[in-house]
Amino acid sequence: MKSSGNFLRNKDGIMSIEFAACFLCFSALVFIIYDVYSSIMLQSRLERANYAVASIFRERSSLYPIIDSSSVQNTSSLCSNSDSCFQSHELFNDTQVKELSQLASSLLGGRNVAVKVDGLFIFQDVNNPASLKDAEFVTLSAESCPSGACNDGIRKYFSSLPKMDDRSDGSLTNYSKLVPYVPRISDLENKLEGRWIPLYRVSMCIVNEESLYLKLVNSNRTASGFLPNLCSNFVVLSRCNDILNPTDTACPIYHR
């Protein structure tokens, strides 16, 4: 005990304690900086991958086949009436979203990627075709969650995203404000001379496997925890070939 007291009062001993304390503080600082840096870099890679995937998804008329609305969810809401459903490049299904997940995985070094795509389709009122107030909003959603990619936190993020068909006045999440009305003479029977372009929201999440802190405190990644997931979403407009072509029915005017 006496020797311990002498050590604490000893100049060399005090220097040793100070060095040990400074070393621990420096090590903790390096740990924090590395953890934050690795998470930021992974988030940046996720943002770039999401932007690339969303940009590919919007080029639907060049890359994807025509889909009959009877083969996707919300069939009744995607039909102009009980006897006629739309056939369009702009409709999508779970298979296409699964392909997006696989593409995103390859861009992120083989990581499992959860992807959700929401689409907003504006069905015109034939009596007031250019009126957004009189139009009907129809949404379409599809999701891909590979094994191990969707934990509770990711599912909670997907479910917390604003609804695409929210048209509340003054709402920051009113996606209809982003939808342009463009001239196009293709439905002479109903005298519709323009259409509202469909809008897509591509959301993407991955488990933050780069964080050393999370590996220690949340290694199984099953709980929401402290920032266990990294997520991103982009909103893009559908881009159809020859939008002014009156014979192009693969990117139709949606109406009731």
Distance separating alpha carbons of residues 235 and 204, to the nearest angstrom = 12
* pLDDT the model gives residue 55: 94
- Which tens digits make up the pLDDT trace of 225-244? 555 788 999 999 998 755 55
**Which residue from 55, 60, 54, 56 is spatially nearest to 248, judged by alpha carbons?**
60
**What pLDDT score does 224 carry?**
46
Give the pLDDT confidence of 60-94 residue by residue, as tens digits: 888 888 887 766 655 556 665 545 677 888 889 89
Within 10 Å of residue 191's Cβ, how many Cβ atoms? 10
Alpha-carbon 122 to chain mean position: 21
Say if residues 252 and 227 touch (Cβ distance below 8 Å): no
Query: For tokens 């094994």, what's the residue?
Result: 147
> What pLDDT digit, counting tens, does each position of 152-182 carry?
888 889 999 999 988 776 666 789 888 988 8
Specify the DSSP class assigned to residue 93: -
Q: How many CA atoms lie within 13 A of 182 on its CB side?
A: 19
Q: Which 8-state DSSP code applies to residue 83?
A: S
CB 142 within 8 A of CB 172: no
Hey, where are the domains in the chain? Answer: 13-237
32: tokens are 């924090």
Return d(Cα 32, Cα 38) in angstroms, integer: 10
At residue 205, the pLDDT reads 93
Which of these, 111, 112, 65, 110, lies nearest to 91 by C-alpha position? 65
What are the two backbone dihedrals, phi and then psi, of residue 69, each rounded to the nearest 5 degrees?
A: -65, -15
